[in-house]
Amino acid sequence: MKYVLGINLGGTNVRLGIVSGEGKIVEMDREKTGKKEKKAIDQQLFLGIEELKKEGAKKGLKIMGIGLGAPGPINTKQGTIVEMPNFTEIQNWPLKKEIEEKFQLPVAMEKDSNAALLGEKWVGAAKDKKNVILLTLGTGVGGAALVDGRLLTGASGEAAEFGHITVDPNGHKCGCGKRGCLETFCGAAGILRMAKEKGIQAKESKDIFVLARENNQKALEVIKIFSFALAEALGGLINIFDPELIIFGGKTSLSQDVFWPELKKRLSEFCFRSSLKDADIVSSEIVDQAEIIGAASLIFKKLRLKNEK
């Protein structure tokens, strides 16, 4: 059986996995992103690839290529990361070429949220679906869309940057340079900022959802703001795309039980009720794995097309 190494380069973690042709992860590793300088990320990423390749070799797993999901915007044709909003020193990074030269394997790149949706399409909630919206709620807020069964990429591969929809033009400055983006309300840093403004000290955004489950009133106020912003952005997306399925991915999606009641209450204020009625809304069941599996699928697709010629 052929195997592919899939990578999710995230704002907090680098996740790597060896993926089988059936879309299953047979080996996985996770490292904290740590320092945000390009050189440090290079070293950490390359070390992770090297170690996972060695683990695979011990078990006789033949690695046919490397698929990479990275924070956008990226240029998939050139294999470069144009910029990373939460990594301000990184611009026009030719990461695809660097990995190919170091490991002598074919490499394919895609925006991390697009990779996540490809993973969902292969083995997750979006299997057999044609019109899907994905919102990844984690360190930042990512987005992806399937339209009539095809991944929406746009003219330059930068489509579906849903995290940078403006929710409040007078809001806080986002890592992308604009103000009041959805990410400033629903990304981890935004959640912690709102909690601090309410007098809550927390180390991780998930702590706010834990407090909300315990009926902490200040935490519940943060969840209300979070849910309102998410409803405003998502309502517009529903009107535009008329999806049959909406998937929440990312670590924050694990707290959907906390924010869903408020989100559901507010969502109809921002979209046609007929469109909302036709859309199922679910949390990903392969949260930590979707980007890895989807990134690997890029190489499997290349291999399949090559064999068909």
Look over the chain and give the mean of its residue pLDDT values, rounded to a whole number. Answer: 91
Q: What is the mean pLDDT of residues 283-299?
A: 94
pTM: 0.92
Which is more confident, 259 or 274? 259
pLDDT tens profile 145-181 = 999 999 999 887 789 999 999 999 999 999 889 999 9
Bond before 243 cis per omega within 30 degrees: no
Instruction: Please determine, for residue 38, whether its predicted confidence score (pLDDT) is greater than 80.
Output: no
Radius of gyration of the chain (CA): 19
Thinking of the domain 129-283, which architecture would CATH place it in?
2-Layer Sandwich (3.30)
- For 2-116+288-308, CATH number? 3.30.420.40
Fill in the DSSP letter of residue 99.
H
Q: Are 153 and 112 in contact (CB under 8 A)?
A: no
pLDDT, average across residues 81-86: 75
Of 152, 112, 149, 133, the closest CA to residue 233 belongs to: 133
Residues sharing a CB contact under 8 Å with residue 216, sequence separation 6 or more, in sequence order: 200
Confidence at 83, pLDDT banded by 50, 70, 90 = confident
Q: Where are the domains of the chain?
A: 2-116+288-308, 129-283
The residue that leads in pLDDT, 148 or 43, is 148
Chain mean position to CA 101: 26
* Per-residue model confidence (pLDDT) at position 173: 96
Length of the chain counted residue by residue: 309
What integer pLDDT is reported at residue 35 of this predicted model?
52
Q: Tell me which of 70 and 34 has the higher pLDDT.
A: 70
Q: Which amino acid is at 120?
A: E
pLDDT exceeds 60 at position 34? no
Mean pLDDT of 216-227: 98
The number of angstroms, rounded, from the C-alpha of 1 to the middle of its chain's C-alpha atoms is: 28
CA atoms of 33 and 96, how far apart (whole Å): 18
Percent of the chain with pLDDT over 70: 93
Within this chain, domains 2-116+288-308 and 129-283 share the same CATH topology: yes
d(CA 260, CA 184): 19
pLDDT score for 44: 82
